[in-house]
Structure 1
Amino acid sequence: MQAGGGRTSTAAAAASTSVKGNQLKAFQKKLKDGVKSMVENLSEIVKSSQMEEESRVLDLTHAAQNEYEMSVRAANMLRAGESLLRLVADLKEYLVLNDFPSLNESIAKRRAEIEKIEDETTGKVAALRDDMIAQLSRLEQTYYSHLDVEKEKN
């Protein structure tokens, strides 16, 4: 019965690792695509903005075409930038949800801190109890010795 359970947890761990690996590959692909798009569009904008022959510069149709191409490429760069920002948000979410070792380490540190505080508090309470016992013993002795003195006077 245990061997079957062990195989199930091993298979689940392997599947989880596979899913994480696929997610990381998808993140890498999105990153490469976004950066590639930005670089390509920027280089095309720079190429379009360079002055060519004087006769072509005077051509209004060509100038309008360059202006339109630059605005489209700028929009593409903006879209790629937004995609990269979404990727950063997705990576942060992935890290928060799937970084179990660091979460476990953080929890273990906090638990150790709390246990230390608990031990210190327990020690202080025990010292306070011992001090109270000693003080009560002295008070009892004083009280009973005072009663004995009163009885002797009477």
Structure 2
Amino acid sequence: MAQAAQHQRPLPQGKEALLKAYNKRLKDSVKSMVDNFSEIMKLARVENEGQVFRATQADEDNFEMTVRAANMVRAGEALMKLVADIKQYLILNDFPSVNDAILQNSHLFKQKQLECDRKLMTLRDDMAADLYDLEEEYYSSTFK
């Protein structure tokens, strides 16, 4: 339960602190997997007769192996969450590529702006010429 709560809390903001937190999560998860796997291997050994009946010991060993396997799965899920967090961090904080994309879009929009300005100027000139022709026609007309 403590591991699950540990992975739910927000991560520190500084890069160094974030890197340390990622490193700790990685080491904790790998250590948990190795420790649980080692304990499962220890349980797999056949021991001599003890004070506990063989069937009872088998049930106890089965239960412990199930719990340890679940712990290994939880550690594996924590590793997958860590990888997802690292990917998200890299995507959100990849400033050079973000800056390049912003710069590229800025150039594209400036070109579009210049193109629109050119078309508007042409349209204005055409409308002024047509208006001049219409005014000239109107004022020189005998039907006013």
Report the TM-score when normalising by structure 1: 0.61
Question: What is the Cα deviation at residue 124 of structure 1?
Answer: 1.2
Q: Which has the larger radius of gyration?
A: 1
Structure 1 unaligned spans of 5+: 1-18
CA RMSD in angstroms comes to 3.4
Question: What is the Cα deviation at residue 43 of structure 1?
Answer: 6.7
Question: What is the Cα deviation at residue 32 of structure 1?
Answer: 4.7
Amino acid in the other structure paired with 2:106: R
- 1:23 pairs with one of 13, 18, 22: 18
Matches within 5 A, 1:1-150: 19-21=14-16, 23-35=18-30, 37-38=32-33, 41-42=36-37, 45=40, 47=41, 59-147=54-142
Q: Kindly, what percent of the aligned residue pairs are identical?
A: 50
Q: Which has the higher helix share?
A: 1
Question: What is the Cα deviation at residue 63 of structure 1?
Answer: 1.1
Structure 2 unaligned spans of 5+: 1-13
Asked if the contact 1:48–1:66 (Cα under 8 Å) also holds between the matched residues in 2, the reply is: no
Amino acid in the other structure paired with 1:100: F
Aligned counterparts of 1:44 and 1:89: Cα–Cα separation in 2: 29
